Every structure is written in C-alpha cells, then in structure tokens.
C-alpha cells in the first residue's frame, strides 16, 4: 500500500506529518520488480546525473542561460526543442556574419 502526502516545505511539517515520517522510518524496505535491491555491480556503475558529460547522441551536456523569451519560443517548437536549439546554434557558429551581429 502506497501513501502519498505533501509537505509544504515553506511552512514546515506538522506534528502529525513528523509522526508519519518517524513511523515510515521504522518500516522495513520492501523491494519488488519496480524497485529491486541494488547489486554490487549496480553500485559500481552508479553516478550522479551531473557527472554524465556525454549525452546519448554523443553531444556534450552544457548549461546555458537564455532569456525567458528564447525559452518560450524554443518550447513552442515542441518536445524536441533542445535538438532544435542545438542545430540552430551549430548553424549560427558556422556563419561569421551572425557572430559579428551578436556584438561579441
């Protein structure tokens, strides 16, 4: 049986919520096919998501700050907007005139 409760972190947990968390801490971990116990091999191959430098398509992951307008416009192209942004950036980098116009 799953129990889901929301805690407003700005307000802090209520006394009842703290009691529920303490009770949950005492319950045994229940592994199943959706959440199996990790093997030694799983643990050896584990990494933080931020440690992964190369994406599945071979590209390197980076963080960019974009204007709110640019984000809205890019997302309007659909769920593949990141790939679209990557292609636009590549095309712009091949065009010296665009680079000159950017003022950099």
Burial 54-76 (b: 16+ CB within 10 A, else e): eeeeeeeeeeeeeeeeeeeeeee
* Structure-token match 């309007």, residue found: 76
For residues 29 and 27, what is the distance between their CA atoms, to the nearest angstrom?
Answer: 7
* Structure-token match 């799983």, residue found: 42
pLDDT in tens, the chain (104 residues): 677 777 777 888 889 988 988 999 999 988 888 889 999 998 888 876 654 555 556 677 888 899 999 999 999 999 889 889 999 999 988 888 888 888 77
pTM for the model: 0.42
pLDDT at 50: 55
pLDDT at 1: 64
For residues 27 and 22, what is the distance between their CA atoms, to the nearest angstrom?
Answer: 9
* Structure-token match 């199996």, residue found: 36
Domain edges within the chain = 15-48+63-101
């Amino acid at each position: 049986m799953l129990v889901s409760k929301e805690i407003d972190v700005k307000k802090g947990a209520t006394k009842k919520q703290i009691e529920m968390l303490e009770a949950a801490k005492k319950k045994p971990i229940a592994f199943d096919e959706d959440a199996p116990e990790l093997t030694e091999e799983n643990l050896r191959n584990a990494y933080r998501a931020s440690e992964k430098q190369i994406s599945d398509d071979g590209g390197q992951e980076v963080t960019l700050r974009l204007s709110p307008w640019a984000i809205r416009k890019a997302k309007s192209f659909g769920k593949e907007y990141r790939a679209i942004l990557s292609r636009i950036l590549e095309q712009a980098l091949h065009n010296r005139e665009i680079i000159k116009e950017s003022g950099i």
